[in-house]
Each structure stands twice: as C-alpha cells, then as structure tokens.
A and B are shown apart, each in its own frame.
Chain A
C-alpha cells in the first residue's frame, strides 16, 4: 500500500490567501485525522472523521479553518484567509476501525509570509 498521501509537501503563501491541503488515506481505513505541529504547541489534533463524517472538530483553532471529507479516499483542510501564525506542519493520519495504530502521512509544511 502507498500509505497516507499528502499534498503538497511544501506550501508558501502570502497572508490573506486561501490555502488547501489534501490527504488521501490508506484504502480501507475509516478514520481520518488532521494534526498540526508547531514549536510552541507541539502536535495537536485539529479534527477527525469516521466514515467521512466529522466526529470531533474541537481542535480547529477558529472559523478560518475548515475540513471536508467528500468520500472515503479524499480529505481537505482549508485555511481562508491564512495568517503567519498558521505556519506549521500539518499531518494527516488514518486508521482502520478503532485502531490501535494510526498511520501518518509525510506532512505538509505551510509557510505564510
């Protein structure tokens, strides 16, 4: 299996622009997670889906962030408008059933200037 695939690997954008991060989970996995990694806050869960339905979005920082999962093989995390403090590495992960293991993608490094 190809593993969890994220795109792009790197994204540099200007403040105020819309940014869309993409994730393809491992085939057959029914849970999908979006995490963010920063120096200040470490790794934190933003949102997770089960069978394409958002279950817990309490980690989404504010209304500028939104996530969708239109089908079992694709999810997006959108930031609109982006701000410099959104600069971070964003990880997507997926798991089958309850787990126990979650498999991570290689992450997207976002830089907002």
Chain B
C-alpha cells in the first residue's frame, strides 16, 4: 500500500524566516506526481506546489520550493521569507493509482504557525 508520512505535527517560525516541512512516502511506481496542499483556517484546500517524479529539478513557486529525493522517497517543502498568511495546515499528498492524479492519499498534516 502507498503511504504518506509527515512526522512533524506542529511547527512554528518567525516572520521572514525560512522553515522546512518534511514528508516521506512509499510507492512502487516509477513515475508519479507529489503535491503539497495548504489548508488555512478558512478550510479551503489550496495547491501550493507539485513535483513530477521523472524531473530531477526541484519545483519552485515563488517563496515555496521542494527538496525531492526520489531514492530516499522524501519530499520536503521549504517556505522562504515566511509571512503571516502562511499560517495553515500543510498536507503532503500522493496519487494512489486509479485513472486520475486526483485520487490522493494525504499525510497527517503539519500545522505551521508564523509569528510576527
């Protein structure tokens, strides 16, 4: 079975600093996507960034970047220049078979608090 593990239930960071959230996964597939979703207090699930497994280059979206280690099955999210609006729960997610990448298995989530 494919699993996704986030080992940090909670993290905090000062505004403008950098924080890294960890995620490991287990799969036997060779080509796949990995996602980080953000869930702010409004409850909306927002896609932050995605990584294609066959691409060696780590994905970057503005202040958000990933460190993708395929052999280690590790997919961490780095948030640079943290802002108060980054306060949210962050989920790592992995497509689990089927015919769509929308069929996702989520990690347990990491609550991130950005302090002023």
Contacts and interface: CB of A to CB of B under 8 A. Distances in A.
Interface of A: 31, 33, 42-45, 48, 50, 55-56, 89, 91, 93-95, 97-104, 106-107, 109
Interface of B: 33, 35, 37, 42-47, 50, 52, 91, 95, 98-109
B66 to A, nearest CB: 14
A93 B95 CA distance: 14
Given A42-B109, A45-B103, A100 B98 contact: no
Is chain A's interface secondary structure helix, strand, loop, or mixed overall? strand
A55 to B, nearest CB: 7
B60 to A, nearest CB: 17
B103 A48 contact: yes
B42 A33 contact: no
Nearest to B42: A106
25 contacts: A31-B102, A33-B103, A42-B107, A43-B104, A43-B106, A45-B105, A48-B102, A48-B103, A55-B98, A91-B45, A93-B45, A93-B102, A94-B102, A95-B100, A95-B102, A98-B99, A99-B95, A100-B95, A101-B101, A102-B101, A102-B104, A103-B47, A104-B37, A106-B43, A107-B43
